[in-house]
Amino acid sequence: MTCLPSQTDKKLGLVIDLDTCVGCQACVTACKEWNTGGHMAPLTDIDPYGGHVDGVWFNRVHSYEHTTEAGGRTVNFPRSCLHCETPACVTVCPTGASYKRASDGIVLIDESKCIGCKLCSWACPYGAREFDSDVGVMKKCTLCVDRIYNDNLAEEDRVPACVAACPTSARHFGDLGDPHSAVSQLVAERGGVDLMPELGYRPTNKYLPPRAHTQRAASVPAKALEPVRAEGGFLGWVDRMLSN
């Protein structure tokens, strides 16, 4: 059913900290290895050892150079499905394969209904949908729907694979519909932003921008060093210090 739920009980999503991401690709391959055997298995790789290798990945990390008057910064940027509140990728789907869950807001694909028309990938501004040409269906991030509720995992492991893997703790997970949740508070505290808000997709996932002081070196209020004022200069100062 590609009509959107009027509201969802929860708005589960990710918060990604661009101030902390070092671009190590840990989330990328953790996602790949979980999901290639998971709900949408496999994440097919075409020509895996050749010159036109093309695989299905649900999460990819770009790097950018962001240059402003204040200076430049390299920004590593993980990109995956944002589980939007008004995802056109769902409403354009002619078959009902794409849907948004009313319970938790996760945007999923029912592969058995997918005809591979690819229209959903055209409708997604973020490039979150990836086509598996081997199976002929569209695939995408499931927010690890087969982990976060999985009774076969220890309770503490019921988080998306990318969040569990991230070595710098740059990825966070929770209910962004609950203003009191830890993720919502993190977003509020750090000024988390939507991607392409002007398109009106209302992404659930938020990005925490690099901290403003970066490149300004403002965080240490150090006074300039002055040469020691002591007879005999530095050596005299040493003597005086030791005699005290």
Phi, psi (rounded to 5 degrees) for 45 = -115, 120
∠ CA 62-36-194, rounded to 5°: 35
| Position 188 contacts other proteins (CB under 8 A) | no
* Residues paired with residue 17 on neighbouring β-strands, in sequence order: 208
Smallest distance from other proteins to CB 83, Å:
14
Element (H, E) at 62: strand 59-68
Residue owning tokens 């990390």: 61
| Position 88 contacts other proteins (CB under 8 A) | yes
Smallest distance from other proteins to CB 228, Å:
4
- What would the two tokens of residue 99 be? 């849907």
| Position 29 contacts other proteins (CB under 8 A) | yes
Smallest distance from other proteins to CB 231, Å:
13
Phi, psi (rounded to 5 degrees) for 213 = -75, -10
Pairing of strands 12-17, 137-139: unpaired
Smallest distance from other proteins to CB 141, Å:
14
Among 11, 32, 83, 140, binds other proteins (CB under 8 A): 32
Task: Scan residues 199-228 and list those touching other proteins (CB under 8 A).
Answer: 199-201, 207, 209-211, 213-215, 217, 219-228
String of b and e for 174-212 (b: at least 16 CB within 10 Å)?
bbbbeeebebbebbeebebebbeeeeebebbbbbbebee
Task: Scan residues 109-128 and list those touching other proteins (CB under 8 A).
Answer: 110, 113-119, 121-127
| Position 84 contacts other proteins (CB under 8 A) | no
Task: Scan residues 123-182 and list those touching other proteins (CB under 8 A).
Answer: 123-127, 130-131, 133-134, 136-137, 145-146, 148-153, 155-159, 161, 163-175, 181-182
User: Total number of residues binding other proteins (CB under 8 A)?
Assistant: 167
Among 13, 36, 81, 141, binds other proteins (CB under 8 A): 36
Residues 43-72, one symbol each (x = binds other proteins by CB under 8 A, - = not), give xxxxxxxxxxxxxxx--xxxxxxxxxx--x
| Position 190 contacts other proteins (CB under 8 A) | no
Radius of gyration of the chain (CA): 24
Separation CA 114–CA 29 (nearest Å): 26
Smallest distance from other proteins to CB 202, Å:
12
Cα dihedral sign, 157-195-40-110: positive
Smallest distance from other proteins to CB 175, Å:
7
